[in-house]
Amino acid sequence: MKLDHQADARDFKLLDSDRYTFSVLSRILTGPCSVTITDHERFILCHSTAPYPVWFWTPDDLSEAEKQQAWEIAESVCPIAEGFSYNLKYDLADYFISKAREQGHDLHITTNMFAYDCP
């Protein structure tokens, strides 16, 4: 998989399928970001700046290998040990919680409706 550090039209097309949950990510990708990593097909990771969370979009059908790859990508650029939090889908969140626990970190799911964009 080839990773890119700039989003393009392919990424916005992917986000159209999750336009309510990931509308904020669509807006963030159009501005300056401290980190953007995408393969334009299965992963979009974006972090604007602290104290905001890292956004990580993936499709609903991730394999275990892709979940592991997502974990490795996130840990390489925005590690939990440095206080980063994530906005991601529940299935991937469960995987991240399990991996974080293996490393001695307490990661948990917080539902916060203010994270959603309701213009």
Q: What does the DSSP 8-state code read for residue 53?
A: P
Scored b (16 or more CB within 10 A) or e, 69-93 reads bbbebbbebbebeeebebbbbeebb
Mean pLDDT of 93-119: 78
- What is the rounded average pLDDT for all residues in the chain? 89
Q: Is the pLDDT of residue 117 over 70?
A: no
- Are the C-beta atoms of residues 49 and 84 closer than 8 Å to each other? no
Instruction: Say whether pTM exceeds 0.85.
Output: yes
pLDDT tens per residue, range 54-91: 999 999 999 999 999 999 999 999 999 999 999 999 99
Q: What does the DSSP 8-state code read for residue 21?
A: T
Contact partners, residue 110, CB within 8 Å, separation at least 6 = none
